[in-house]
Amino acid sequence: MMNLSEGAESVVAASGSLGGAWLVVLLPAIGALVLLAGGKRTNAWGHLLGCATVIAAFVYGVVMFFASTGLDAGQRVQNLHIYDWIPVNALQVDFGFRVDPLSLTFVLLITGVGSLIHIYSIGYMAEDRDRRRFFGYLNLFVASMLVLVLGNSFVTLYLGWEGVGLASYLLIGWYQDRPSAATAAKKAFLMNRVGDVGLALAIFILFQQLGTTQYTEVFAAVGDGRLSSGTLLAVTILLLLGACGKSGQFPLQAWLPDAMEGPTPVSALIHAATMVTAGVYLIARSNPIYSASPDGRLIVVIIGAITLLIGCVIGCAYDDIKKVLAYSTVSQIGYMILAVGLGPIGYGLGILHLLTHGFFKAGLFLGAGSVMHAMNDEVDMRKFGGLWKKMRITFATFTCGYLALIGFPLLSGYWSKDAIIEAAFSQGGWRGWVFGGAAMLGVALTAFYMTRLMFMTFFGEKRWEKLKSTDGREFHPHEAPAVMTIPMIILAVGSLGAGAYLAINHTLVDWLSPTLGELSEAHDSPFSTPVLTTISIALMVIGVGLAWLLVGRKPVPVEKPERVSFPVRAARRDLYGNALNEVLVARPGTWLTRFLVFLDNRGVDGAVNGIAAVFGGGSGRLRRLQTGFVRSYALTMLAGSILVLAALLMVRFS
Amino acid sequence: MTSSSSSAVLVALLLVPLVGAIVVAALRGNDRLAKLVALGISIVEFALAIVSWAAYDAGGARLQQAFSMDWIPSFGVHLSFGVDGIALVMIAVIALLVPLVIGSSWLEKLPEGRSAGGFLGLILVEQALTIGVFAATDVFVFYVLFEIMLIPMYFLIGSYGGANRQYAAVKFFLYSFLGGMIMLASVIALYVQAGNALGKGTFDWATLVTVVHHAPLSTQIWLFLGFFAAFAIKAPLVPLHTWLPDAAAEAPIGVAVLIVGVLDKVGTFGFLRYCLPMFPDASRKLAPLVLVLAAAGVLYGSLLATGQRDMKRFIAYVSIAHFGFIALGIFSFSSQAMTGSVSYMINHSISTGMLIIVIGMVIARGGSTRIADYGGMAKLTPLLAGLFLLAGLSSLSLPGTNSFISEFLVLIGSYPNAPVYTIIATVGMILAALYILWLYQRVFTGPVRGDALMQFDGPGATIAPETGARRAIRDLTGREIGVLVPLVVLVIGLGLYPKPVLDVVTPTVNATMTSVGVGDPVTVQEGH
């Protein structure tokens, strides 16, 4: 094997089973093609094909994983050239993959959680006439997401990046009858495109400065110090803009809660476990660039801290179970962004939290889907209550996810989140206090909103007994079929144990070190680790206790109380994020467009008709030119001849 | 007369549609036969274009498959034709579109007293003339074909179009003709220039390229502007665009495909073949001006597209935005951007052509071009909805589709020399998503609604109980699927594997860059 670069990282040409990495993309891609182009003929077995391709991709992912662990650390970053995609002189964009610990980790997450959610969807979508097309879109998503994480250049990443955006658009708008679904889908795509502009401009700058967009060459050049600090800062900010769009981070967070219009398995897979974490992947993948720009990293950390608090605060006020979980996702990704913004001490921790979050949040969404399935698709928690007795498996698995999310000691979230908080504090000075403090505050708020959700859904009075759903049916909650509960159970096991497995002895961080570098130990923290853990647990207990005081011990009114304090009102309105978009972008845009349409019809066209009038004798006579054709032809000829004469004169005299 | 063996293919490409047009026009009594013959001829033409592509040597001479014969010896005018990489791909795309246009116009309701033979005959004449425009290597022949090309189009809009067709046809003609007259002044001045330099005037493009760039800057600028005016109207660039929405709205769907897909490209082709190599100093001097128009066109066309109420006018404004991208790529002087612009020219023909064709299928079902007359149509016609979305995604340059390659190349290539204009155009990406997805949302999603879908149509029409829509609204027919499948294959195929096009275009672009006297801002780095 030969070394392709002499830079900080060593990259070798892919071989062995890693050289077959294209297979994991091709399988779901073929699934999508067959299901979408095959039409109704594939209805009978479409969902099975959809599951089979993703499971097969997972199996090959596991094969690649073990092949890679068998290699020396220096051989684990492999480059797979497939064909020349966009070759024009100096610009040579490969269609190719980078198979390394980071991308393999994502391959396992995407195909593993993806397989479980595909299986779950067989049951969840059983009643849908178009289930086959649904699986086609899910396969399209998995294929695109794999291109995103496996691509070996920023352009192949961009290909997957917009591919998952398309799948997300199609699946958010799945229930086409609902105008709100169509609007949410369009909003998601548009806000993502705002971020994409950032990603695109970052790619343009890299090409301008370095003449390449391939990771290997870009990272080597950055390692050689070929980018000025100003350029580095610009690139980090633009990449962050892309990450904010895809990952629902401030100020582009408003689309993610609306995306809950999609079917719940979609929310679990795309809008919780995988696609929305692509922003974290992007920053972790670009770690040589971020490591070289402390200012860029500071901005990342600030965005992460703001977002994690926004998500928590709004999550406390919503009654829609999926929207609470959505804002929880916004907030948890805020933690991950904060982590990767910390630089070498945080890249691995961000990915660790991304993985544990993938387990417990996917599990929570599937649990919410199971509740909705049992409750005639109702999402308003004020109509739930006392469900734990009716659906014990759902309750048990949901509780595992809940405890993991709030950071209950020794469960998944505890390992990953506390590590991030500790790393944030270790920044030292005001940064340590501000970012560590924000992450700490988030612990209490997370415990509050999730405990509130648990109380309103599973405990207390069975409020649904006296109610009917909007389509007039009575509620008869029941446990979901095994095809749905088994994926939930598997994810619950992950929620319990994955954190400990990955975090103890730094298993994950060591595995990722060929890509992300060695973990530098936290230092300069005002607290020792045991003290920090104690504070964190205390805050969690306070959050749970507050939820009990304010929600758990009182009856929950079925109607939403309208006379509430200002913070609750603000939180219910998404802290005015949408209102701000409306005032700053949507309305001025509409006015400008109307003005321009008016101008184009009257102004520009009028002016040109006026010029025509000079030649033709009035725009009103334009129509009559049909009859007076020859005369106007002559007139135009005359005008032309004058110009010819002018040109000739000009040539002589110049 | 000089020729080589492969030049016979080019001669055939010029003559087959011309002869075919006469045959088809003679079949005016029998519509069905006329359609079949026209389709057959257009397929033969497409096969010829493939042969021409296969015979083209990307690393070979600047102009290939060339032939020449005397026409007006006293003025040194020769009927000479030949292709470079740019002309080659444009001719291929015309040859691809015409059979699809004929297929999609199969059931077109022509106005009272018009026959399919006349309509399709004019389309074939137009095809022959546009191929001639791209293949001409004598500037005078180019000019003559550029002007004659207007005449069949004038009748295609004016005789076969919608209610306001005569107004649209005259407006189209006046704009284009005026531009042509201004160009004529420059063509004549070129002849004089060549006479001064060589002692004998000539219209031979290859000779002129070697002569005119010695002219002083001021002369070059005037000559440049003469050509530029004609091309900027044709392309069209804002603010010379206002003929296009009327022409596209009034023309029959198939003709709209030809206007936007083929005719307009003559303008951007003209920039590349005439403005840049013949007047290099003027091109460099005036590039900032064109870049302003280009960036303005992207934003202006996009915003206007979001504000349209009529689907065919919508398409016109979308194209105006796209022509902004093409002009940006041509005048920012890098081989990536210029190659991007050329591939944009063909990809725009494919994806916007597909979008017009699917919009035509929507209109054929509802009988209205107003967006507000439709709603929730995906429920009635899921396949049409899906292909409409695919055409739209290609128009908004989604990666994985053909248009992404060209838009990406234009932007990444333009950024080093024209960062501000590139950033403005990149923002246009957001607007593209807005206007495409909003149109899709209004026409296809939500509950079935809108007059075109809900109103009774004649005594026999009944209402489908489950949706409330007219029963007559059906999903795509076999003919319609047949028209769209080649476009779908190209949209995705050229998106994932654009190399065949890029390999043909890039050498010609490199030659053009050399004649403009500019080098790439980003060159191959050491260690590659």
pLDDT at A264 over 70: yes
A591 to chain B: which residues are within 8 Å by CB?
none
Residue B506 has its nearest CB partner, among A89, A166, A597, at A89
Q: Residue B285: inside a domain, yes or no?
A: no
Q: What average pLDDT does range A123-130 have in this prediction?
A: 88
Q: Residue B402: inside a domain, yes or no?
A: yes
What confidence tier does A617 reach under pLDDT thresholds 50, 70, 90?
very low
What confidence tier does B111 reach under pLDDT thresholds 50, 70, 90?
confident
How far apart are alpha carbons A603 and A597 in whole angstroms? 9
Long-range contacts, B65-69 (Cβ 8 Å, 24+): B65/B4, B65/B6, B65/B7, B65/B9, B65/B10, B66/B2, B66/B3, B66/B4, B66/B7, B66/B10, B66/B137, B67/B1, B67/B2, B67/B3, B67/B4, B67/B7, B67/B10, B67/B11, B68/B1, B68/B2, B68/B3, B68/B137, B68/B138, B69/B1
Mutate which: A88, A174, A180, vs B, most B CBs within 10 A: A88
What confidence tier does B2 reach under pLDDT thresholds 50, 70, 90?
very low
Buried b (16+ CB within 10 A) or exposed e, A621-633: ebeebeeeeeebe
Counting one residue from A and one from B, how many pairs have CB atoms under 8 Å apart? Answer: 213
Higher pLDDT, A589 or B509: B509
CA distance, residue A186 to nearest chain B CA (Å): 6
Pairing of strands A12-13, B77-83: unpaired
Residue A439 touches chain B, beta carbons under 8 Å: no
Pairing of strands A91-99, A78-88: antiparallel
Give the pLDDT score at B499: 95
CA distance, residue B45 to nearest chain A CA (Å): 30
Give the pLDDT score at B52: 93
Q: What is the mean pLDDT of chain A?
A: 85
ipTM value? 0.92
Q: Residue B466: inside a domain, yes or no?
A: yes
B524 to chain A: which residues are within 8 Å by CB?
89-90, 211
H/E element, B417:
none
Give the pLDDT score at A633: 46
Least-confidence region, from A306-320, A336-350, A513-527:
A513-527
B contact residues 213-272, partner A, Cβ 8 Å cutoff: 216, 218-219, 222-223, 226, 239-240, 242
Q: What is the pLDDT of residues B396-418, one digit of tens each?
A: 999 999 999 999 999 999 999 99
What confidence tier does B463 reach under pLDDT thresholds 50, 70, 90?
low
Q: What is the pLDDT of residues A65-81, one digit of tens each?
A: 999 888 888 888 899 99
Q: What is the pLDDT of residues A346-403, one digit of tens each?
A: 899 999 999 999 999 999 999 999 998 888 888 888 888 888 888 889 999 999 999 9
Mapped onto helix, strand or coil, the DSSP state of residue A468 is strand
Give the pLDDT score at A624: 43
Q: What average pLDDT does range A103-123 have in this prediction?
A: 93
Q: What is the pLDDT of residues B208-219, one digit of tens each?
A: 998 888 888 988
Domains identified in chain B, total number: 1
Nearest CA in chain A to B447: A177
Least-confidence region, from A341-355, A510-524, B168-182:
A510-524
Range of the domain at B475: 290-496
Nearest CA in chain A to B386: A36
Q: Residue B36: inside a domain, yes or no?
A: no
CA dist list (Å): A282 to A111, A157, A244, A246: 19, 9, 10, 10
Mapped onto helix, strand or coil, the DSSP state of residue B99 is helix
Q: Please answer yes or no on whether A86 and B379 come within 8 Å at the CB atom.
A: no
Q: Please answer yes or no on whether A637 and B181 come within 8 Å at the CB atom.
A: yes
Q: Please answer yes or no on whether A616 and B499 come within 8 Å at the CB atom.
A: no
Beta bridge partners of B470: B463
pLDDT at B39 over 70: yes
Residue A196 has its nearest CB partner, among B189, B405, B429, at B429
Residue A87 has its nearest CB partner, among B218, B447, B502, at B502
Q: pLDDT exceeding 70 applies to what percent of chain B?
A: 95
Q: Residue B50: inside a domain, yes or no?
A: no
Q: Please answer yes or no on whether A208 and B438 come within 8 Å at the CB atom.
A: no
Q: Please answer yes or no on whether A190 and B520 come within 8 Å at the CB atom.
A: no
Q: Residue B153: inside a domain, yes or no?
A: no
Give the pLDDT score at A399: 93
Q: Please answer yes or no on whether B307 and A636 come within 8 Å at the CB atom.
A: no
Nearest CA in chain B to A201: B423
B248 to chain A: which residues are within 8 Å by CB?
none
Nearest CA in chain B to A91: B336
B contact residues 388-407, partner A, Cβ 8 Å cutoff: 393, 398-400, 405
Give the range with max mean pLDDT: A491-500, A629-638, B408-417: B408-417
Sketch the domain layout of chain A as residue ranges.
303-572, 583-653
Residue A201 touches chain B, beta carbons under 8 Å: yes
Q: pLDDT exceeding 90 applies to what percent of chain B?
A: 60
Q: What average pLDDT does range B429-446 have in this prediction?
A: 92
A contact residues 80-99, partner B, Cβ 8 Å cutoff: 83-92, 95
Give the pLDDT score at A552: 75
B393 to chain A: which residues are within 8 Å by CB?
166
Q: Residue B168: inside a domain, yes or no?
A: no
Q: What is the pLDDT of residues A557-582, one digit of tens each?
A: 777 777 778 787 887 787 887 788 77
CA distance, residue A236 to nearest chain B CA (Å): 17
Mapped onto helix, strand or coil, the DSSP state of residue B463 is strand
Residue A651 has its nearest CB partner, among B219, B409, B426, at B219
B contact residues 483-502, partner A, Cβ 8 Å cutoff: 496-499, 502
Give the pLDDT score at A649: 42
Angle subtended by helix axes A101-124 and A131-150, to nearest 10: 170
pLDDT at A133 over 50: yes
Q: What average pLDDT does range B243-250 have in this prediction?
A: 89
Residue type, B50: I
Give the pLDDT score at A645: 46
Q: What average pLDDT does range B355-364 have in this prediction?
A: 94
pLDDT at B120 over 90: yes
Q: What average pLDDT does range B458-477 have in this prediction?
A: 66
CA distance, residue A40 to nearest chain B CA (Å): 11
How far apart are alpha carbons B279 and B261 in whole angstroms? 27
Q: What average pLDDT does range B98-102 have in this prediction?
A: 95
Q: What average pLDDT does range A195-207 have in this prediction?
A: 95
Q: What average pLDDT does range A430-442 have in this prediction?
A: 91
**pTM higher than 0.80, yes or no?**
yes
Q: What is the mean pLDDT of chain B?
A: 89
Give the pLDDT score at B130: 96
pLDDT at A629 over 50: no
Structure tokens belonging to residue A185: 């889908």
pLDDT at A626 over 70: no
Structure tokens belonging to residue B87: 């002309």
CA distance, residue B459 to nearest chain A CA (Å): 30
What confidence tier does B24 reach under pLDDT thresholds 50, 70, 90?
very high
Q: What average pLDDT does range A503-532 have in this prediction?
A: 80
**Residue A211 backbone dihedrals phi, psi, to 5 degrees:** 70, 20
Give the pLDDT score at A642: 57
What confidence tier does B205 reach under pLDDT thresholds 50, 70, 90?
very high
Nearest CA in chain A to B524: A90
pLDDT at A288 over 70: yes
Q: What is the pLDDT of residues B301-328, one digit of tens each?
A: 999 999 899 999 999 999 999 999 999 9
Residue among A431, A417, A425 nearest A522 (CA): A425
H/E element, B203:
none
